[in-house]
Amino acid sequence: MLKTILSITFIVIFLIVSIPIWGILFIIGLFNKTFKEKLGYKLVAWAFGVVIFISGIKCEVRGYENVPKDKSVLFIGNHLSLFDIIIGYHLCPPVTGFLSKNTIEKVPLLSTWMKINYCLFLTRTDPRKDLKLILKAQEYIKQGISMFIFPEGTRSKTGEMAPFHEGSFKIATKTGCPIVPVCFTNTRAVFEAQAPRMKKAHVIVTFCPPVDPTALEGEDKKFVGAYVQRIMQAQLDADAKLI
């Protein structure tokens, strides 16, 4: 329980202490919007890095060179744990907005940081509202902001991936941006497998080669989600042998 208590305590302290930073970021943004956005993102990424350290995760990152450096992308991740978000946010380049459940929008202070960093909150129950958010994500992509989504819609309780929601991939198909699959292996072992306790775990995060949605043909073009999921399943099977 000690790791859990320390992690929660650190996040609470960070959120409270960082309140004045919002004003500083606002002022910086008046003169240099790009610097403000990168600084805001890196501050939260640093905080999540501290949580990763406290939890004792040994995070093995593979394929990071596959992330394009000169354009915005759509990151697609499988979802096993809350730590998928923490680790993914820590590793992704600034600025990357995450699409998450709207329950997180109710968390004081944290939701403010997420909004500052272009995160969007999906309802999963209101298709019309969620469509507007997908369209908003497309706008962000066009502005040079990468987006990260977990297209299963919820965390897996078995370790097996649920079918991907094809609508998530419209962010890429409508903008033509690359899709970078991100495979998380063994993140459930950190927390969910023995919640509320945390324990040390060897976690593998693999950034697969980007998929160009404009180059797909036939069934792959029609069902981009299924195509990407097959790529990820093969990678997850390979990574599981390394744990």
Contacts of 22 (CB under 8 A, 6+ apart): 112, 116
- Domains detected in the chain: 2-240 (3.40.1130.10)
- Measured CA to CA, the distance from residue 36 to residue 27 in angstroms comes to 9
Radius of gyration of the chain (CA): 18
Cα 163 from chain centroid (whole Å): 18
- Measured CA to CA, the distance from residue 70 to residue 157 in angstroms comes to 36
Q: Fill in the DSSP letter of residue 211.
A: B
pLDDT tens series, the chain, 243 aa: 888 999 999 999 999 999 999 999 999 999 999 999 999 999 999 999 999 999 999 999 999 999 998 899 999 999 999 999 999 999 999 999 999 887 777 888 888 999 999 999 988 777 788 889 999 999 999 999 999 999 998 888 888 899 999 989 999 999 999 999 999 999 999 988 888 888 999 999 999 999 999 999 999 999 999 999 999 999 999 999 998
- Go through 13-37 and write b for each residue having 16 or more CB atoms within 10 A of its CB, e for each that does not: ebbeebeeeeeebeebbeeeeeebb
What tokens does 37 get? Answer: 């956005």
